[in-house]
Amino acid sequence: MQKILVPTDFSANADNATQFAIDIANKYGSEIHLLHSFHISSKRADVMKNMGKAVRNESEGEMSRAILKFKRLLGDNVSISGEVMAGPAVSNTVYYAEKEKCTLIVMGTQGATGALEVFIGSTTGGVLKSASVPVLAIPSQYGYRPLKDIVLALDNQPLPSREVFSPLQELAAIYEAEVNIFHLRMDGEERGIDEKVYTYLEGLRVNFHEESGRSDVHERINAFVKEANASLLCMVRRKRGFFESLFKGSATLKQVYNSPAPLLVLAGD
């Protein structure tokens, strides 16, 4: 958690996500990097140049005001800086995170649909699919509260390395949060979760909850998050498996998958 990247469009959603990043940074003594991306589209080079200069100047002014606003909330040994980049937000975010060796990306979901935007092609969804570091997505209108209970949703596939789970382990430890493992065992499924998860989360308070049946996995996860009054839902991104299915833009998914808590995606690819 030494370097936390917060992509921002200076909206209320982005400011809300920054509040979460600041709280984490204050516990770790982290660097916070604000990143704003702007994109100019025109076939004329002179228009591109003039518009690009104007938008950059305006964006840099917004960035300076944002840094001043958030500086007063920082604890000891915490710093905040900002950068404005031309280009698409998704590719800029992924590039910047790799270049600066950021260890966590915190970003708000966009639009009135809140967390639904994570899964239907938004900037947040693009970053979730592409980033090589963990991403913490904060639903629209979700006010800050400290991490207390965490739900880790797992399928029955072998787990990636221990290092993938380090961010979850660190967050749970520093917030003294309980981790509730949730697994939906499908009808006829013989194999349960990979038992290595208990080794990965050693030293934490860990509970296990398993349900069975063939009802919608998204609805069951959300119901359990609400039942546990969880302040964080955690999943492992895979190239294949049930988490990848969450990104399919079906009408059913758009209707039912609205995470009631912030979502931490561990990069397991």
104-113 pLDDT tens trace? 999 987 643 4
Domain final residue pick, 138, 157, 187: 138
pLDDT at 150 over 90: yes
Is 70 exceeded by the pLDDT of residue 160? yes
Same domain, 195 and 252: yes
Judged against a pLDDT cut of 70, whether residue 269 lies above it is answered with no
Residue 169 confidence class, pLDDT cut points 50, 70, 90: very high
Q: Please, what is the average pLDDT of the chain? A: 83
Domain boundary among 77, 106, 138: 138
Structure tokens at 215: 């009802």
Domain hosting residue 112, numbered range: 3-138
Amino acid 204: pLDDT: 95
Residue 231 counted as domain residue: yes
Q: Is the per-residue pLDDT at 114 higher than 50?
A: no
CB 31 within 8 A of CB 81: yes
Of residues 214 and 145, which shows the higher confidence score? 145
**Do 206 and 122 sit in the same domain of this protein?**
no
Q: What is the pLDDT of residue 164?
A: 92
pLDDT of residue 118: 45
Is residue 269 included in any domain, yes or no? no
The total number of structural domains that make up the chain:
2
Q: Are residues 161 and 50 both part of a single domain?
A: no
Q: What is the mean pLDDT of residues 192-212?
A: 92
CB 177 within 8 A of CB 167: no
Q: What angle do CA 75, 77, 82 make, to 5 degrees?
A: 85
- Characterise 141 by phi-psi region: left (phi > 0), alpha (psi -120 to 50), beta (else): left
Residue 200 domain flag: yes
Q: Same domain for 104 and 209?
A: no
Query: Is residue 196 located within the same domain as residue 254?
Result: yes
Q: 113, 138, 163 — which closes off a domain?
A: 138
Q: Are residues 124 and 156 in the same domain?
A: no
What was the pLDDT predicted at 255? Answer: 31
| Percentage of the residues of the chain whose pLDDT score is greater than 90 | 48
Tell me: pLDDT of 30 over 80.
yes
Which pLDDT band, with edges at 50, 70 and 90, does 256 fall under? very low
219-254 pLDDT, tens per residue? 788 889 999 999 999 988 876 554 555 545 433 333
Q: Which is higher by pLDDT, 235 or 114?
A: 235
pLDDT at 173: 94
Judge if 84 and 173 occupy the same domain. Answer: no
CATH number at residue 228: 3.40.50.620
180 and 121 together in one domain: no
The more confident residue out of 193 and 187 is 193
Residues 178 and 70 in one domain: no
CB atoms < 10 A from the CB of 206, how many? Answer: 17
Same domain, 92 and 194: no
- pLDDT (0 to 100) of residue 253: 33
Are 228 and 181 in contact by the 8 Å Cβ rule? The answer is: no
